[in-house]
Amino acid sequence: MDFASSAFWTSLLQIIWIDLLLSGDNAVVIALAVRSLPEKQRKVGIWLGAGAAVGLRIIFAIVVTYLLAVPFLKVVGALLLFWIAIKLAKGEEEAHSDIEASDNLWKAVRTIAIADAVMSLDNVLAIAAAARGHFELFIFGLLLTIPLIIFGARLLSSVLERFPILIWLGAALLGWIAGEMLLSDMAVLQWLQANMPSWVVSVPTSDVNPVGLLPAKVPFYSAAVLGALVVVVAGYLLKKKPVDQPG
């Protein structure tokens, strides 16, 4: 490990920047999932959720090469993320207030784990690419996410409690990510190249992008916006309205 190398320090700074950018998504998921828990259990949920997020990154780091070769992986992930985002937007937790608090805690952790499993793949790939073969930098990047996620989730959890409208913005963010993920799947990109070539652009192949394709900007951001709208509209339509009590 050459600490004097400019490439090493460039990679280190890139990993820190990537962590700052990408840990926010996980913090949003955790804050949304634990928002209805009592204060003490909310803290436990944040710690368990952050642990699950980092644990999943480590697992993906081990099998990332295999995962890259699986067609429709991101399609399945995007559909799962849509489902989770809509559940969080419509406030499913509030409809189950009769469930014991311990059950609610583990339901929140389960929701966090599923969402993190969907989003961790891209995070791991970005850190791995920035590490440029430096294993110690890769591990550092994974470990750095722990305080970032915990701090971010605790801050967001308090803010969500004061400003409920932000719940919808958080759910819309997850829908945005799901839309991006859907259009970035290897199989989808290859289909677009064959049938709608103006929707893709060619780039050099790499470990991060083995097919050498990316979505063009207009369809990419259109899919992201549409994903956010789908979550917000579906969450609003499915949200349980309070039943008027007979007078």
Question: So what's the pLDDT on residue 208?
Answer: 63
Q: What does each C-alpha distance from 116 to 32, 119, 153 come to in angstroms?
A: 13, 5, 13
Query: How many percent of the chain have pLDDT more than 90?
Result: 15
CA distance 64 to 128: 10
Q: Decide if pLDDT at 101 tops 60.
A: no
CA distance 50 to 31: 11
3-state helix, strand, coil in the chain (%, to 5): 80, 0, 20
Q: Decide if pLDDT at 44 tops 90.
A: no
pLDDT digits (tens, 9 = 90+) for 1-28: 455 567 777 777 877 776 766 677 778 8
Higher-confidence position of 234 and 209: 234
Which residues, other chains included, contact 67 with Cβ-Cβ below 8 Å and sequence gap of 6+?
60, 73, 121
pTM, to two decimals: 0.69
pLDDT digits (tens, 9 = 90+) for 105-139: 888 888 888 877 777 766 676 676 667 667 778 77
Q: Using only the alpha carbons of the chain, give its radius of gyration.
A: 19
